[in-house]
């Protein structure tokens, strides 16, 4: 399976899970997805492709009315391929931005 198809199917699976597990009273709020990829450094090509694929999927979902009427927002962070940087990025997404779901970490070292 091509990498872009795998990324798209992964995002789709996460979004379907959100449909069934997000409380009804949150219906007006957008769904916030946090992504952590290597977007700088020697392996940044993979992270940039993953980011583009995720953004393409989210744009298509939002064009078709979102998920149960809720728009999807994407927040991207760069892990630079380093565990400590990735940990800070994850904490930012969870504690500062308040994402509903985390996706990413495309390196075994991270």
Alpha-carbon distance of 9 to 15, in angstroms, equals 10
Note the pLDDT of residue 22: 61
Cα 83 vs. chain centroid, distance in angstroms? 18
- Prediction pTM value: 0.73
C-alpha–C-alpha distance, residues 84 and 78, integer Å: 11
Residue 5 has pLDDT above 90, yes or no: no
Q: Per-residue pLDDT for 106 more than 90? A: no
At residue 26, the pLDDT reads 52
Give residue-wise pLDDT tens across range 21-60: 666 555 579 999 999 999 998 888 888 999 999 999 999 9
- Structural domains in the chain plus CATH codes: 3-22+30-104 (3.40.50.2300)
Whether pLDDT at 92 is above 90? yes
């Amino acid at each position: 399976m091509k990498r872009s198809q795998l990324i798209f199917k992964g995002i789709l699976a996460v979004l379907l899970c959100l449909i069934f597990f997000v409380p009804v009273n949150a219906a007006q709020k957008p769904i916030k997805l946090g992504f952590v990829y290597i977007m700088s450094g020697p392996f940044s090509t993979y992270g940039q492709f993953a980011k583009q694929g995720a953004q393409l999927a989210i744009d298509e979902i939002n064009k078709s009315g979102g998920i149960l009427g809720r728009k999807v927002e994407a927040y991207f962070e760069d892990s630079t391929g380093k565990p400590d940087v990735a940990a800070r990025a994850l904490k930012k997404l969870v504690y500062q931005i308040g994402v509903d779901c985390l996706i990413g970490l495309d390196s075994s070292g991270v």
